[in-house]
Structures are given as C-alpha cells and as structure tokens.
Amino acid sequence: MRKNKLRLLTYILIVITVALIGYVAVLYWRGGVSNYEPPKQIYATSRERVQSDLQNLSKAVEAYFVINMEYPRKLELLQPAFLDHVSNDPLSGKAYLYTLYDTGGASRYRISVPDPELYNAKELYIENGKLVQR
C-alpha cells in the first residue's frame, strides 16, 4: 500500500518536472530573435476586418487634420505619414468611399463600404470616428 503511494507520488513529481521543463523550453523556444515581431492581428470575419479598416482610416484622417487643420481631400494623402497603404474593401475589392461635408459649422467626413449588402447591412460607414452599421 505504502509502496503504491510512493510510486504515485514519484509519478506526480515526474509529471510536474516534465511539465515545468516543457514550459521553460517553450518560453525559450519562443524567445529567439526570429520571434522579435508583434502579435499578429487575426480577423475571424471579413466584417471584423472592414471595421478595423474603417477605424484605421478614420484615425489617419483625424491625424491629418491635426497637421493641416482640414480633412484630406482624398484618402491617398494619408500615405505614408499615417498609413502604410490605403486598403480596399476585402469582399468587393473596391476602394472605400470617402466624402467630406459641413454641418452646423463643423467639417465632417464619412468613409463607407462600397457594397454594404455584402455584409448584410444597408449602411456600413464611419463618420467622424463613429462606426455606423444598420
């Protein structure tokens, strides 16, 4: 009986030691220079990707405004200072639509998805930083 208990304890200790060695090995293996890169952004759906695109474009438009005191006339002006490249809508492959207008004394901008039906929406856009989908 006692022998069995001792054996069990030894097994548990071996398992814990192996798990610890494995954990440290994984940390070491994942710490090489080849892993010097930021965590990857994973988008589960195209809709998530579009929302992220619209938000990134909107942030860049706001940043452009800080320097120029006006919104850009076209999205291409955001390259390269604020964006690497202006991405297209992932499902249709078309460029996002960008419009400028004035309401109540304030300048406003809207970046919209060209074919919102592809995302089961009537409208999908970002307006002055606020994402709208319906």
Partner 1 sequence: MANSFKDKTKHAFTHLIMVLSSVIGLLFATPNLLYSREPLDSEIEKALRKTVTCERIEIKTKRGADKGGKLESLFIKFVSMPKNILPADYVTVQYTNPQIDLGTLKKSNIFAITSYSDFKIGMLVSEQTIKDEFEKTAKRLSFHYDKFLIKFTPPFIELEFDIPVNTIPLKDRKLIEKFTINSRLKGYAALRLEVHDNKIFVSPAKVILNHFLVPMPVLAELQKRINPVYQITRIRPFNYDLGKVELLNQYILFSN
Contact 51, 131 (CB under 8 A): yes
Nearest CA-CA partner of 57 in 121, 113, 15: 113
The yes or no reply on residue 42 touching partner 1 (CB under 8 A) is: no
- The region that residue 39 occupies, defined by phi over 0 for left and psi between -120 and 50 for alpha, beta otherwise, is beta
How far is Cα 52 from Cα 41, in angstroms, rounded to an integer?
10
Decide if residue 1 touches partner 1 (CB under 8 A): no
Tell whether residue 30 is a contact of partner 1 (CB under 8 A): yes
Residue 50 interacts with partner 1 (CB under 8 A)? no
Q: Token digits for 117?
A: 């039906």
63 binds partner 1 (CB under 8 A): yes
- Interface with partner 1 includes 20 (CB under 8 A)? no
What minimum distance in Å lies between the beta carbon of 28 and partner 1?
Answer: 6
Task: Find the DSSP H helices in 30-115.
Answer: 46-68
- Answer yes or no whether residue 40 interacts with partner 1 by CB under 8 A: no
Ramachandran area for residue 108 (φ above 0: left; ψ -120 to 50: alpha; else beta) = beta
Spacing of C-alpha 116 from chain mean position: 20
For residues 106 to 125, the per-residue mask of contacts with partner 1, x marking binding by CB under 8 A and - elsewhere, is xx------------------
Judged by CB under 8 A, the stretch of 3-11, 53-61, 91-99, 115-123 that binds partner 1 is: 53-61
Interacting residues toward partner 1 by CB under 8 A: 26-28, 30-32, 35-39, 41, 56, 59-60, 62-63, 65-67, 69, 80-84, 104-107
